[in-house]
Every structure is written in C-alpha cells, then in structure tokens.
Structure 1
Amino acid sequence: MRYLALAADYDGTLAHHGKVSSSTIDALKRLKDSGRKLVMVSGRELEDLFTTFEHAELFDRLVLENGALLYNPATREETILAEPPPPQLVEMLYARGVSRISAGRVIVATWEPHQKEVLEVIQDLGIERQVIFNKGAVMVLPSGTNKATGLAAGLLQLGLSPHNCVAIGDAENDHTFLAASECGVAVSNALNSLKERADLVTTADHGHGVEELIDRMIDDDLASLNQKLKRHGLLVGKTADGTERRLDPFGVNLLIAGSSASGKSTITTGLLERLENKGYQFLIVDPEGDYSTLNGASVLGDASRAPLVEEVLDFLKTPTHNVVVNLLGIPLDQRPSFFDSLLPRLQALRSSKGRPHWVLVDEAHHLLHAQWKPGEQNFTGQKMGLTLITVHPESVSQAALERVTAAIVLGERPDKTLHAFCQAAGKPLPLAPEGALSRGDALLWEVNRDEVVVVHTEPPKTERRRHSRKYAEGNLGPDRSFYFRGPAKKLKLKAQNLTLFLQIAEGIDEETWLFHLEQGDYAEWFREGIKDEDLAAATEKIAASKLSADESRGAVRAAVEARYTLPSDRATGHEEKEDQPAK
C-alpha cells in the first residue's frame, strides 16, 4: 500500500457541531480493519476532547493542542512536544479583560476579537510565541509548533513517513499538515483557501466527506489520484523548450543506463539529493563504494567489514534514515547472494511501513545478472521505486527489466543502449534520437509514452566529494591501472590507484609527465579507468593551458584532491618542504 495512515482533523472534519456520526465511526473501523493507522490532529485539549468524543481508542495517536501534545490512547501516555507557557500569560490576559480563556499543557486559546490583547501580552512578557487563527479561535503556541510538526512526531512513533499518509481537514490551521502529507484532502465544507491547495476535495461535507475518502482508500489506495499529485515530482531535467520533466517519486521503476563516465552517478546523486530534500527514504546497494560519502545517508559496511542485513533493517526503522549498503567487504562472487537475502526483507518492510520509498541498485548487471530469478516474494506487488543503474542493460535479469517504467539513458550512443534495454526486456522499441548527446543531456523514456525526449539533466546542488577505496587506495587491476611509459616507452611504472598515480607523478621526469599530459592519457584514464568525467574534463583544460611541468603537475594534483579524499598528504609525497635537503 502507498497510504498506510489517515490523519484527520476533528472539528468541522470528523465532527459536525462537535459530534461524530455513527456512519463515520463505522468508516473509521473499516479503515482500521484494512491494516491502516488512524491519527487525529486537532486544536482541542485532551480533557475537552474526551467530553465530546467517546471513541479515542480507534486512533493510534491523538495529536492535540494544534501539534503541541501527543497522546497514545492504548497506553494513555502523553508526550509534550513544546515548551509550556509561563503562568503570567494567562494571568495577564485575565487582567486585560479577556474572560474566555482555555489553557492546555502548552496551548493558550481565546476568541476573536481578543487577538490585540494576546499580542500585547506576548510583547510585554518578551516571549517567543506565535498566534494561530482557526475559525474565530485565537491560539497561542511556541514558534514552529503546528499540526504538521505534531503529525510528524506521531507518525515517527508509529514508524511511518508523512509520504505514506493522507491528511484531511477544513480550516486555516489545517494547511500545514495537509501540505506535509503525501496527499492533502479538504472536505467540501472547508474554507476556499484550503480547497484551492488540496490535492482532493470531497463531494460530501464533514464526516461524510471523511467516509468518502476512506472508501476510496480501501477501494484502490487512491491510485486514481496519482496523476494529480504533481507537487511531489522529482525533477530529471528540462527539454530544449524549457519544459520540466519529472518522475513520480512513488511507483516508478527506473533504469539509468550508459557507458562508463557518461554521467550516471551525477544524475543519480541529483535524484538522491532531491529525494532527501523532499523527505523520501532511500537505500542504495553500492557494490563498489561509489556512494560512501553521500550527504544525508548512513554508510553500512566498507572494504574491511561486510554489512549485515539486520543492521540495514535496524537503520531503516527510522523513516528519516537513508542508507548506503557498501558491499566492498563482501567477496565479488558472494554479493548477488547477499542482495538476494536483503531484497525480500526490504519488500516485507515496504509492505508494513511503505518504506524505503526508493531502492537503488548500482552495478545492477552484476547483482541482478541475466540468469537471476526473483524469489516468490521479491517482486510481488512491486509498485515502489526500484532503480537499476548499469553499463550493460542487456546483462540485467529480464524479470527486473520487465518492471522498468522509465529509463534515463546516456553515453556516446544512447539510442543503442535504449535498443539493448528494449530487446532484453521484451519491450517495443520507441523512436529515439540517434547519435551522441551534448554533455549533461540524456534520453528520457517513460514506458507508457511513445516519445523519447532529450533532457538537459538537473545536476546536484552540492558537489559530491568522492571517496572510494578502489579509486583512492585500492587495486584497480592491470586493465584499469595507469602506466607511465614515457615517449620512448622505456618505462613501465604502474599506478593502480589515485594515490600511487600522484606519488609517481611527483617523481617522474618532466618529459614523461608532459608527454602523457599532452597526449591526453591522464584525461582518458580518469574518464575510463576512474569513471570520472568531471576530473577528465578538468585535466583536458589543464593540458590545453600549456603550463610548465611543475605547474601542470600541481594543477592535476589539486583537481584530484578537490574530488577525492585520499589517505593522507604523506601518501602523495607532497609533504616535503622547500628547505628540506635533497636526497
């Protein structure tokens, strides 16, 4: 299910004139029976609510006092979410002639037209408080406390994300928690300002509108609204005419394919950054350690320690935790079996909690190789984001490719890569632009559309400083190492990683250094061996600048260090001081 919780306002939404009808109670029970959670989000105080509502036990959490108090009906436990007011606040309001005052654990409320006196008292006390209006009520709360913050706290206790929640309300103070939820609904009797911003407006009013929403949730999990929920779309890029192209953050199974150094990691990092900014939870299965310094994610495992499935699941229990599962500590031939053990556990978590919202599989042609067959539960009901990143889509399991709903394709001949994907997946080949693309461009194909469009992809806002042991310290192997041979090919100095490359570069003669620089050998290695297009482009600019050997050596070293975290300065040899004696 996409929507695992319903968050509903009380007065004017669930209740009409303070009372909830029996048919609305029956609808709430039906929703509970469907396996979903119920959260009430109200400006009322706890004791006041209990005087008019007798079915609090139906709700998994009550968010009261406009987000300042959280109550668990099952345990009767209260959690105060904000600082209580000073006692003088109420006393000074009475002294100014304000007679209709109610005070809860945190909230102090009165009615219009007493907002003038409220503001004067706040100013006289010198305290930080906000005033919230709600259909004539004047509520005083700590700054930053509202229904959205209270709902977030309640969902966190339930292990749920706001992106798996539907919210319904009717008044001014409901704007925040409707906007914070994946789907915001206004009952037909709601204020026009709320209806204008809601994703859905019910045809019925008050509790009958809630019943209408509940029936739709049970019927199709609001699938009919998917096309309307554009506010959550993840930006991929813009077409030549400036039109934005976005992907639905829910339900898309994405393929990112292209040759080495074509920009797959840049596009992926940008998407991850936007997922994090929107509060979606993601998990990356990272066979080669390429995402070990990704901002906003916890890395489990490294070259010396294999990750454990149980620790991955433990981190994912918190909806705000994103995870990178680094497989460098697992022998190459055992990585697919580790992934096979992880995937059904992720699917089980998604069934119960709706998370992680996106699972990204790097080097998918290895982990989901052509002979790979999914377990019985691995792809059952697979509707949430599974992103496959690969150089070789034709080498990925057909069972996985068949479920791809969108493809981003890059490289020198993206049309050929797209053709290879379609052939392997058994999908009809769409008409696609042929030939090479400009830097930063990609083909985007949404499988339910006939068109393949060229988009200029949106880069990440922050540069990712790469730290991968295989590039900085590891052994890339003979085929991907750099060899300093010199113009006469008398040398054979092997650099199997960036640290050794910089060490050797410091010691070789000027002629050898400049020979490889001017031939473009360094840029080619960075592009093909290190798979870093940005570093390759920077090195090409350095070569074109016609710097001296020492100047260009320093510039290349600076370009590498700006992008990679190396073991230490000592490893590159440039800790030497000018006043040290020559050896």
Structure 2
Amino acid sequence: MYFLALAVDFDGTIAEHGYVTPATVSALERLRQTGRKLLLVTGRELNDLQHAFTQLEIFDVVIAENGALLFEPGTQEETRLAPPPPIELVQMLADRKVTPISVGRSIIATWRPHETAVMNAIEELGLEMQIIFNKGAVMVLPANVNKASGLRHALATLGISPLNTVGAGDAENDHAFLACCGCSAAVANAVPSLKKEADLVLSKDHGDGIAELVEKLIRDDRLLLPLTKRAILAGVSLEGEEIYIEPSDIILIIGNSGCGKSSYITLLTERMAERGFEFCVVDPEGDYLGLDHAVTIGGLADPPATEEALRLLLQANIDVVVNTLALNHDDRRHMFMDLVPAVKKLQRSSGRPHWFVVDEAHQFLPPHDPGNRAAPRLAAGAILVTVDPARLAPAALAEASTVIAMGSSAGRLLQDLADILKIPGPAHAPQTQGTDFLLWSPRTNRPPLVLKQEKPQQAHHRHRGKYATGDVGEWRSFYFRGPQLDINYQASNLAEFLHQSDEVDDEIWLHHLRSGDYSAWFRHVIRDDILAADAAQIERNESLSPLESRKRIRQPVTARYVIPAVYNGSASLPTAS
C-alpha cells in the first residue's frame, strides 16, 4: 500500500446534520480492515462529539477543536496541543452578549455575525489569537493552531508520513489539513473553493461520498493521484515530453565513470525534496557529503549505524545520507544487508523513505557474494547506481522496472543488461549526444527514449571523500618518479597530487605530462573520464610552459572536487617515501 491513512472531517463530510449513517461506518471499518489508519479531524469539542457519534472507536486518533486536542479512543487518552482559552477573552465576550458561545479545552466557538465583536475583543486585549470560519461557525484559537497542525502531530504519533495520507473534507477550515495530505478529496457538497483545490472531487455528498472514496482508495491506492503529483521528473524527451519515475518503481542507473551519474542523482534528490518526498542515500565513496536537504551519518573515520539512520528517518522531513567510507567492503555489505529489510519495514509502517538510493551498488550487491548471502529483495523506490550491469547481482537487475543508461556506452550497456537477463535487447537504441541519456523499460517492447540531462542547482563534486582527501591505496597512488627514477613522491589522493605537482621540479612534471601519466591516472584510478579527457588535451599541447600546464591541470580537478585549503601549498605535507 502507498496510502496508509485516511483523515476525514466530521460535520458535512462523514456526517449530515450531525448523523453518520451505518453505511458510512461500514465503509470506514472496511478500510481499516485493509491495515490503514483512520483519523477524524473536526472543529467540534470532544464532549459534544462523543454525544453526537458513539462509535469513535473506529478511529485510531481524533483531532478535535480544530487541531487543538488529540484523543485516542482506544486508550481514552487526551493530549492538549494548545493552551486553554484566555479567561479575560471569555469574560469580555460574555459581557458583550456574544451568544451562543462554547468554551472547550482550547477553543472558543460562536456563530456569525459575531466575528466582528470577537475580533474587536482580541484586539483590545492584545492577544495572539486567530479566527477560523467553518461555514456559519466562528472559531477562536491560538495562532498557528489549525486542523493541519493537529493532523501533523497525530500522524507523527502514528509514525505515518503526511504524503501517504488521504484527507477528505467539505468546508473552509478543511483547506489547511487537506493541503498537508498527499491526496486531498472534497465531497460533492463541499464549498467551491475546496473543490477547486482538491485532487479528487467525489460525485456523492456527505457519507456516501466517503464510501465512494473508500472504494477508490482500496481499488486504486496511489493511482488516485495524477502521475505528476505521485512521481518525480526523470527528464524531458527530445520531443518535449516530460517523463516521470514513481516511488513504486525500481530504477537502475548505469554508465561509465565520470559520465554524470552522481550529478543526476543530486538533481533527483532536489526534485524529491521539492515534492516533500523523503530519501535515504547509501554513499560508499563520499559523493554526497554535504548534500542539500539531508543529514549525513558516517564519514572518513566514523562508521554509520543502521539504528541511527532509521532514527533520523522516523523524524518527519529528515533525509539521510549513510556514508560508508569508514567501512571495509565486507562490513559495507553486512551493513547493507541489515539496512534493506529495516527500510522496507519502515516503509510499510510509515511510507518513509519514499526513495532509497544506493550509489556504487555493485559494492553491496555483487554478482557472487563471497559469504554466499542471497541479495535482499529491494525496497520500493530503490535507485541502484553502477558502472556496469555485469558487476551487479542478476537478482537485483531483474527487479528493475526502469533503466537509465548514461555516457558514451549507453546503448551497449542496455544490450549487456538484456543479455544478462536473457531478454530481448532494446530495439533501435538511439545514439545519445553530449549529456543526453537513455531511459528504457525492460518489461516492454518500446524502444529507449532519449532524455535531456539537466544540472542540479547545488554544485556537485565527485567522490569528494575518497578521491579528494581519502586514500586510494599504495598500489593505486600516483608516484612522481621522474625520467631517472631518482625520486619517489607518492600522492594517495587528488589533494596530495596537487600539492606534489607544485613541489616537483619542471623536468619531473613535464616527464609525466608528456608520457600521458596524469590522464591515465585520472581515468583508471580516479575513474573520471571527463577529468581524464581534459588532462589528455593539456598533455597534447606542447606549447604550454610547465607553470601554465600545472595551472590548467589544477583547474578541472578543483572544479570537480572539493580540495581543502591545507593542500593548496600553505602547509607542509609528507612528500617522499
């Protein structure tokens, strides 16, 4: 299930003239039997509501007094979300003959045309109160207390994301709480302004409309929403068509190193955040340190804890990057094996995280796990990123409903994937140019689409942890040795490489430059084809002086990676081994 809860208003929505029909109660009970939660969101005071409707136990939580009070019928527990009404305001309204008037735990309620008298009293007393209208009713509450604030609090107690909640109402005071739901519905008798804003306008009124909504929700679930609201934009085709991917999909992104996969993931997380979708990114190489909208756990020296990731995900609107740089490859797989079922369990209960991104997925899901552990079934909304489908477990490849292929070898990678899965390859795979990429569904016979790649708003820096300041290992380090092999200056990352390039003399620098050693190291160790291509062009330009060639090599490195200032010649570093 995508939608895990239904929140409904009382008067004018499930009730007509204060009465809820047995058919409406039966429809709500049927929905609850599917495992979904039911919430009642009303402007009524609790005592009045309990007298009007004696079957409150069908609801998991009641949000009363227009968001000021929570009541759990199962435990009879009340939680006040706002302070009690100011005594001086109640007294002033009584003195000014504002009748009828009702005083609840936090709410003061009366009827039109007393709104002017109420507003004048609030102003004279200098109170921070608000007036909310509900057709003919006039409700007075503390500032920032409404049905939306109450619903958000109730959903937090249930551990359910608002995006995975359907809301239904009929009146002006329902605008706020419907706006915070993932799907909003208006019964046929709703005020025109509510119908205009709702995702779904029901054909029937009051309780019959709610019964209609229940049937649609059980039958269609996430399909209640249009594609543009339940999904995120993957890209735009050459013909201008917008193509979307959904949190119910499993996405595979493949492409050679340096082709823009991580930059594309950064763009997707921006679009997730814009829509309110929560995401979890598993980051083994430090690509997403400092990613906007997210909290990072783990780092160069600190291993992440699965429990910490889940704790953060349980907090509303928290996106998480799980960085595994401090773990060795075997420990990374162990962590991943624990994380996947935990994320799936969290999704079933709360809807979060809506997207689960696994960068360098071959590190966690290799074709042949040395521990003979079966690849776990992926969470909904999983996005697997890898350089080559042959490096990923076939079981994981088979789960992909959408494949995005990037880089110069995009067409070949799609065919390689088809060969691994033993299915027909994509017919007439078009050629891509520049940063364009291919989107293909292996489960259809449709040819791949060419989509235009856009840049994320935030600057993206590749592997800023591992390759910029980490350690690629003794055997993969760059060694400045010179033509006579009389020195041995080691650079175990890009920061040290830039520092060493300033330390060595011109003869040594030019020896490696003319030999094409810099572009080879960038391509085969740093695995950045774009950086390698830039370096190769500089290496071929024999007219450049040593000083100018150093500057030109430095420019693309610092443009694509975060290099700490300490490595820019201002500090002394170990240079020789």
TM above 0.5: yes
What SS does structure 2 have at the residue aligned with 1:185? strand
Matching residue of 1:580: none
How far the C-alpha of 1:361 sits from its partner, in A, is: 1.8
Instruction: Indicate the larger mover: 353-362 or 328-337.
Output: 328-337
- CA deviations on 1:264-288 (whole Å, 9 max, x unpaired) are 1111112122223333232222233
Instruction: Indicate the larger mover: 340-349 or 11-20.
Output: 340-349
What is the distance in 2 between the residues matched to 1:496 and 1:244? 43
User: Is the contact between residue 312 and residue 320 of structure 2 (CA under 8 Å) also seen in structure 1?
Assistant: yes
Correspondence 1:498 to 2:497: no
Matching residue of 2:106: 106
Per the alignment, do residues 45 and 426 of structure 1 end up closer, same or farther by CA in structure 2, a change over 3 Å counting?
farther
How far the C-alpha of 1:160 sits from its partner, in A, is: 0.9
Correspondence 1:243 to 2:252: no
What is the distance in 1 between the residues matched to 2:516 and 2:84? 67
Per the alignment, do residues 563 and 383 of structure 1 end up closer, same or farther by CA in structure 2, a change over 3 Å counting?
closer
User: Is the contact between residue 263 and residue 533 of structure 1 (CA under 8 Å) also seen in structure 2?
Assistant: no
* The one of 363, 367, 372 aligned to 1:366: 363
User: Is the contact between residue 85 and residue 103 of structure 2 (CA under 8 Å) also seen in structure 1?
Assistant: no
Matching residue of 2:448: 452
How far the C-alpha of 1:255 sits from its partner, in A, is: 0.9
User: Is the contact between residue 300 and residue 470 of structure 2 (CA under 8 Å) also seen in structure 1?
Assistant: no
What is the distance in 1 between the residues matched to 2:163 and 2:126? 37
How far the C-alpha of 1:388 sits from its partner, in A, is: 0.8
Matching residue of 2:285: 288
How far the C-alpha of 1:306 sits from its partner, in A, is: 3.7
Matching residue of 2:297: 300
What is the distance in 1 between the residues matched to 2:66 and 2:15? 16
Matching residue of 1:222: 221
What SS does structure 2 have at the residue aligned with 1:222? helix
Q: Give the AA of the match of 1:398.
A: P
How far the C-alpha of 1:489 sits from its partner, in A, is: 8.1
How far the C-alpha of 1:212 sits from its partner, in A, is: 2.7
How far the C-alpha of 1:438 sits from its partner, in A, is: 1.4
What is the distance in 2 between the residues matched to 1:375 and 1:104? 59
Q: How many residues align?
A: 568
After superposition, residues 374-523 of structure 1 pair within 5 angstroms as 378-379=376-377, 384-439=380-435, 441-447=436-442, 450-464=446-460, 468-477=464-473, 480-484=476-480, 493-510=489-506, 513=509
What is the distance in 1 between the residues matched to 2:212 and 2:373? 38
Correspondence 1:346 to 2:323: no
What SS does structure 1 have at the residue aligned with 2:110? strand
How far the C-alpha of 1:385 sits from its partner, in A, is: 0.8
Q: Give the AA of the match of 1:443.
A: L
Instruction: Indicate the larger mover: 255-264 or 353-362.
Output: 353-362
What SS does structure 2 have at the residue aligned with 1:51? helix
Correspondence 1:19 to 2:14: no
Correspondence 1:29 to 2:24: no
What is the distance in 2 between the residues matched to 1:257 and 1:453? 15
- Calculate the aligned-residue CA RMSD, in Å: 3.7
After superposition, residues 24-423 of structure 1 pair within 5 angstroms as 24-82=24-82, 86-94=86-94, 97-218=97-218, 220=219, 222=221, 224-225=223-224, 228-248=226-246, 250-371=247-368, 378-379=376-377, 384-423=380-419
What is the distance in 2 between the residues matched to 1:15 and 1:93? 30
- CA deviations on 1:307-345 (whole Å, 9 max, x unpaired) are 344444344333433333333333223433442333233
User: Is the contact between residue 254 and residue 386 of structure 1 (CA under 8 Å) also seen in structure 2?
Assistant: yes
Instruction: Indicate the larger mover: 157-166 or 42-51.
Output: 42-51
How far the C-alpha of 1:174 sits from its partner, in A, is: 2.0
Per the alignment, do residues 143 and 468 of structure 1 end up closer, same or farther by CA in structure 2, a change over 3 Å counting?
same
How far the C-alpha of 1:253 sits from its partner, in A, is: 0.7
What is the distance in 2 between the residues matched to 1:136 and 1:532? 66
User: Is the contact between residue 261 and residue 528 of structure 1 (CA under 8 Å) also seen in structure 2?
Assistant: no
Q: Give the AA of the match of 1:574.
A: S
Per the alignment, do residues 541 and 109 of structure 1 end up closer, same or farther by CA in structure 2, a change over 3 Å counting?
farther
Instruction: Indicate the larger mover: 76-85 or 529-538.
Output: 529-538
How far the C-alpha of 1:158 sits from its partner, in A, is: 0.8
Q: Give the AA of the match of 1:423.
A: D
What is the distance in 2 between the residues matched to 1:541 and 1:100? 84
Per the alignment, do residues 207 and 339 of structure 1 end up closer, same or farther by CA in structure 2, a change over 3 Å counting?
same
- CA deviations on 1:223-257 (whole Å, 9 max, x unpaired) are 5536x242232122223344332222x21111111
Instruction: Indicate the larger mover: 515-524 or 179-188.
Output: 515-524
Per the alignment, do residues 374 and 82 of structure 1 end up closer, same or farther by CA in structure 2, a change over 3 Å counting?
farther
What SS does structure 1 have at the residue aligned with 2:2? coil
What is the distance in 2 between the residues matched to 1:278 and 1:307? 27
User: Is the contact between residue 260 and residue 528 of structure 1 (CA under 8 Å) also seen in structure 2?
Assistant: no
User: Is the contact between residue 343 and residue 379 of structure 2 (CA under 8 Å) also seen in structure 1?
Assistant: no
How far the C-alpha of 1:527 sits from its partner, in A, is: 6.2
What SS does structure 1 have at the residue aligned with 2:310? helix
What is the distance in 2 between the residues matched to 1:474 and 1:63? 52
- CA deviations on 1:155-187 (whole Å, 9 max, x unpaired) are 111111112212111222223322322222222
What SS does structure 2 have at the residue aligned with 1:475? coil
Matching residue of 1:581: none
User: Is the contact between residue 413 and residue 434 of structure 1 (CA under 8 Å) also seen in structure 2?
Assistant: no
Q: Give the AA of the match of 1:74.
A: G
Per the alignment, do residues 56 and 514 of structure 1 end up closer, same or farther by CA in structure 2, a change over 3 Å counting?
farther
Per the alignment, do residues 201 and 485 of structure 1 end up closer, same or farther by CA in structure 2, a change over 3 Å counting?
same
Q: Give the AA of the match of 1:10.
A: F
Q: Identical aligned pairs, as a percentage? A: 44
What is the distance in 1 between the residues matched to 2:269 and 2:548? 37
User: Is the contact between residue 499 and residue 569 of structure 2 (CA under 8 Å) also seen in structure 1?
Assistant: yes
User: Is the contact between residue 479 and residue 489 of structure 2 (CA under 8 Å) also seen in structure 1?
Assistant: yes
- CA deviations on 1:109-163 (whole Å, 9 max, x unpaired) are 3333333344444444444444333212233344443322221111111111112
Per the alignment, do residues 388 and 116 of structure 1 end up closer, same or farther by CA in structure 2, a change over 3 Å counting?
same
What is the distance in 2 between the residues matched to 1:471 and 1:83? 54
What is the distance in 2 between the residues matched to 1:542 and 1:165? 56
- Structure 2, unmatched stretches of 5+, are 573-577
Q: Give the AA of the match of 2:245.
A: L
Instruction: Indicate the larger mover: 529-538 or 129-138.
Output: 529-538
Q: Give the AA of the match of 1:365.
A: H
User: Is the contact between residue 344 and residue 379 of structure 2 (CA under 8 Å) also seen in structure 1?
Assistant: no
- CA deviations on 1:325-377 (whole Å, 9 max, x unpaired) are 33333322343344233323332333333332222222222322224699899
